[in-house]
């Protein structure tokens, strides 16, 4: 069963708004209890950005043509270097205790940054190509 461009975009857009509401509620709950940045808040925010990006990218990615393959390929290539940069920056910050994070917080931060970087690069490259 094929989804039309409009239906596919609407699905991701509605999912994005639902995740945005959840994200805001969970961030508010974390801040109001004094436990902000447990870790999962940023992952949920990254997932929200991912669904909005997929809403924008759905028509390009649905075709699965040479252009969409190039966007994915180049996006992953550029994202690799950004993610490597995040790790290079985080390692000394954690080593010299300029920032103190638990293991869960560190992994959540890297996961959120990875999601945001990959899908933002897809959007930027979709406008470029």
pLDDT digits (tens, 9 = 90+) for 110-121: 999 999 999 999
pLDDT digits (tens, 9 = 90+) for 8-58: 899 999 999 999 999 999 999 999 998 888 889 999 999 999 999 999 999
Range of the domain at 102: 5-128
pLDDT at 3: 59
- State both tokens at 107: 């992994």
Percent of the chain with pLDDT over 70: 97
What is the count of structural domains for the chain?
A: 1
How does residue 2 score in pLDDT terms, banded at 50, 70 and 90? low
Mean pLDDT in the chain? 92
pLDDT at 1 over 80: no
| pTM, two decimal places | 0.89
How does residue 6 score in pLDDT terms, banded at 50, 70 and 90? confident
């Amino acid at each position: 069963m094929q989804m039309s461009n409009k239906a596919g975009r609407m699905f991701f857009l509605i999912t994005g708004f639902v995740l945005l509401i959840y994200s805001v509620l969970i961030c508010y709950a974390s801040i109001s209890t004094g436990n902000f940045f447990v870790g999962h808040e940023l992952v949920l925010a990254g997932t929200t950005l991912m669904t909005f990006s997929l809403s924008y990218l759905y028509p390009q990615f649905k075709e699965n043509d040479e252009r969409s393959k190039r966007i994915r390929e180049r996006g992953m290539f550029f994202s690799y270097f950004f993610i490597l940069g995040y790790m290079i920056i985080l390692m000394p910050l954690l080593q010299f205790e300029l920032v103190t994070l638990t293991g869960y917080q560190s992994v959540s931060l890297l996961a959120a940054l990875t999601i945001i970087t990959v899908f933002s690069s897809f959007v930027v490259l979709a406008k470029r190509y």
